């Protein structure tokens, strides 16, 4: 028997060496200056789009573009000429979360985790095929029979995924703030 794999998805995980204290201070200063906007966030702070050339995040922006273009070329097999279109700060306090969504009209999206207290919520990626309506009595979960995949976020780590991948973030059950920076590339 031959198994033909179809419709694969991915999340790329890249450990970085960004100055997290600098980015935390930058994120908090943005929160103090802005009211923020409502997108997929339920509670918490979602900033307006940041300036991509801000000295506090310019190094991060360069790494996002560098690794996204590797993914574009090596995994998606598309022209590796992606540029960051928008980037924003997320600060989620106790019980704040993000509802399921995707990033329409982009190629690659992602999140960089800055501060990740224990129990501050996982990134959940969703298989949109409604597997749970068709398969019962699962002996062992694997990519063929799972409708969700939980990614436990790590500090100073960049996660890249195709923009069409549905995802959400679980509630922050920590008393500390979870800080992340999300973005889209075209």
135-171 pLDDT per residue, tens: 778 899 888 888 899 999 999 999 999 999 999 999 9
Fold classification of 12-185 (topology level) = Jelly Rolls (2.60.120)
User: Quick check: helix, strand or coil at residue 27?
Assistant: helix
The mean-pLDDT minimum among 4-8, 63-67, 101-105 falls in: 4-8
| pTM (2 d.p.) | 0.95
Beta-carbon contacts of residue 33 (< 8 Å; ≥ 6 apart): none
Q: Could you give the C-alpha distances from 67 to 10, 43, 73, 107, 121, in angstroms and in order?
A: 14, 31, 10, 13, 25
């Amino acid at each position: 028997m031959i198994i033909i794999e179809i419709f694969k998805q991915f999340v790329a995980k890249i450990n970085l060496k960004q100055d997290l204290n600098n980015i935390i201070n930058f994120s908090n200063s943005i929160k103090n200056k802005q009211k923020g906007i409502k997108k997929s966030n339920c509670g918490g702070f979602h900033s307006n789009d940041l300036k991509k050339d801000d000295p506090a995040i310019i190094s991060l922006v360069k790494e996002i573009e560098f690794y996204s273009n590797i993914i574009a070329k090596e995994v998606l097999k598309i022209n590796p000429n992606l540029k960051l279109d928008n980037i924003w700060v997320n600060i989620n306090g106790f019980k704040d979360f993000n509802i399921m969504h995707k990033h329409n009209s982009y190629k690659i999206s992602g999140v960089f985790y800055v501060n990740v207290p224990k129990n501050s919520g996982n990134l959940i990626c969703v298989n949109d095929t409604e597997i749970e309506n068709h398969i019962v009595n699962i002996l062992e979960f694997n990519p063929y029979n799972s409708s969700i995949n939980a990614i436990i976020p790590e500090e100073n780590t960049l996660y890249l995924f195709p923009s069409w991948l549905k995802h959400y973030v679980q509630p922050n059950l920590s008393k500390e703030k979870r800080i992340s920076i999300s973005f889209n590339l075209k």
